Amino acid sequence: KKREKEHGPKVHPELLELYTVTDHVLGVGTFATVKEIILKSTGKSYALKIILKKTLQGKGTMLDTEISILSKVRHPNCVSLLEMFETEDAVYLITDLAKGGELFDQLLNKGFYTEGDAARLVHEILLGVEYLHSMGIVHRDLKPENLLFEDKSENSRLMITDFGLSKVLTGGNDVLMTACGTPGYVAPEVLEQIGHGKPVDMWSVGVIAYTLLCGYTPFWGEDQPSLFESIISGEYEYEEEYWKDISQLAKSFIDSLLRPANQRPTATQALAHPWFRAMLEQDMVTPVSPADSVNLLPGMRKNFNARQAFKKAVRAVGLIKKMQ
Distance CA 4, CA 26 (A): 19
Which range, of 90-98, 161-169, 214-222, 240-248, touches Mg ion by CB under 5 A? 161-169
Binding residue for ligand ADP (CB under 6 A) from 15, 19, 27, 166?
27
User: Is residue 70 part of the contact set for ligand ADP (CB under 6 A)?
Assistant: no
User: Is residue 81 part of the contact set for ligand ADP (CB under 6 A)?
Assistant: no
User: Is residue 142 part of the contact set for ligand ADP (CB under 6 A)?
Assistant: no
Closest to ligand ADP by CB, 97 or 122: 97
Angle at CA 195, nearest 5°, toward 192 and 199?
100
**Following DSSP, what letter does each residue of 70-136 receive, concatenated?**
HHH---TTBPPEEEEEE-SSEEEEEE---TTEEHHHHHHT-S---HHHHHHHHHHHHHHHHHHHHTT
Q: Which of 141, 162, 201, 292 is catalytic?
A: 141
Which range, of 70-78, 118-126, 156-164, 231-239, touches Mg ion by CB under 5 A? 156-164
User: Is residue 96 part of the contact set for ligand ADP (CB under 6 A)?
Assistant: yes
SS3 call for 184: coil
Number of residues that bind ligand ADP (CB under 6 A): 22
Distance CA 130, CA 76 (A): 12
Closest to ligand ADP by CB, 73 or 254: 73
Beta carbon of residue 293, minimum distance to ligand ADP (angstroms, whole number): 32
Catalytic status, residue 141: yes
User: Is residue 94 part of the contact set for ligand ADP (CB under 6 A)?
Assistant: no
Q: Which of ligand ADP, Mg ion, none has residue 32 at its interface (CB below 5 to 8 Å by kind)?
A: ligand ADP
Binding residue for Mg ion (CB under 5 A) from 102, 115, 162, 189?
162
Distance CA 184, CA 230 (A): 9
Binding residue for ligand ADP (CB under 6 A) from 19, 31, 85, 275?
31
> Is 12 buried (19+), middle (13-18) or exposed (0-12) by CB count in 10 A?
middle
Distance CA 267, CA 136 (A): 13
CA distances from 130 to 134, 198, 199, 313 (A): 6, 10, 11, 33
SS3 call for 174: coil
Instruction: Tell me which residues touch ligand ADP (CB under 6 A).
Output: 26-32, 34, 47, 49, 79, 95-98, 102, 145-146, 148, 161-162, 164
Q: What are the residue numbers of the active site?
A: 141
